[in-house]
Amino acid sequence: MACGYLGFPSPAFPKPPSDSVQSLEEADVEDAHERRAYFTNFSREEILNHYEEELQKTFPVLFPSYQVSYPPEDAQTLIRDQTRSVHLPEIIHPARESLFVNFFEAQTAKDAISYKGIPYERKITVRYIPTPIIPRILITLPAFLFFAYVARKLSKESVTLLKTLFKND
């Protein structure tokens, strides 16, 4: 199971939410294979659910993922310098790919979000970090094998201890 999970190729860059418009602003297209920005009216929950589903499409079975939230000020390090943020979650497939979804939502009237004259609730900047298969397996498989070895040793010692305890009764 572990080799199957690790062996599946990383998905392509996830598709954007259906209502979104891709930003063609200079800073948003400079690294399009790793980072893209969109204007959308979808809620945070709808956007995160969408990207969870996009990452799962590659796998024939449901694999675990989890989310980690970072302080918004970390967007300047994790997404791009000068990136504005109000919410910065990361969707992680353990030992595989990561997807940061930076949310910017206007907090004041002067921060109102519009693109080509159309107003939007939020601008999201998505940074996708896939991992190549070979390094993924070379790093994770030895850790898995070590864990299996330790678990087996512990289970043998537990059985021996239980036999000793029940013999004394």
Taking only the tens place, the pLDDT of each residue in 102-151 is: 999 999 889 999 999 999 999 999 999 988 888 878 877 888 888 888 88
Is 74 found in the same domain as 96?
yes
Domain that holds residue 54: 2-131
Q: What is the pTM of this model?
A: 0.78
For residue 36, the cross-strand partners are 126
Residue 124's alpha-carbon distances to 79, 100, 120, in angstroms, are: 11, 10, 11
Is 139 found in the same domain as 84?
no
Retrieve residue 128's tokens.
């996708």
Residue 1 pLDDT > 60: no
Is 123 found in the same domain as 146?
no
Q: Number of structural domains, the chain?
A: 2
69 neighbors 88 (Cβ within 8 angstroms) = yes
∠ CA 100-52-78, nearest 5°, is 5
Is 115 found in the same domain as 33?
yes
**pLDDT tens, residue by residue, 55-106:** 887 666 667 788 999 999 999 999 998 889 999 999 988 878 899 999 999 9
